[in-house]
Amino acid sequence: DFVTNGQVTATLGNALLFTDGLAWLTGFGERVSFGVQAFSTGLPVLQADGPTLDAIALLTIVIIPGTVLIMGLAVWFRRARR
């Protein structure tokens, strides 16, 4: 199966072969043309200094889970009183 997402983006030839094959099968070869597209090969690179990375780590490891825990305990105490 050469048309799956992983195979189409791996080599541009598979995508071109598939689209040209569809054009030939449907008879729309003269009316529809597909060109080669450039694909991004990776994730964008983010630049952050040490204090920014420390703030992000504190937020994701301590503050957000702590907030969820406190809210969960508040709901649990409210329901336990009833």
Over residues 27-47, mean pLDDT: 67
- 35 with 56, same domain: the answer is no
Instruction: For residue 71, give its domain range.
Output: 47-82
pTM metric for this prediction: 0.45
- 31 with 52, same domain: the answer is no
Q: Tell me, letter by letter, the H, E, C secondary structure of 28-80.
A: CCCCCCCCCCCCCCCCCCCCCCHHHHHHHHHHHHHHHHHHHHHHHHHHHHHHH
pLDDT digits (tens, 9 = 90+) for 70-82: 999 999 999 999 8
Tally of domains in the chain: 2
Residue 37 has pLDDT above 90, yes or no: no
What does the mean pLDDT of the chain come to?
Answer: 79
- 54 with 28, same domain: the answer is no
pLDDT digits (tens, 9 = 90+) for 60-70: 999 999 999 99
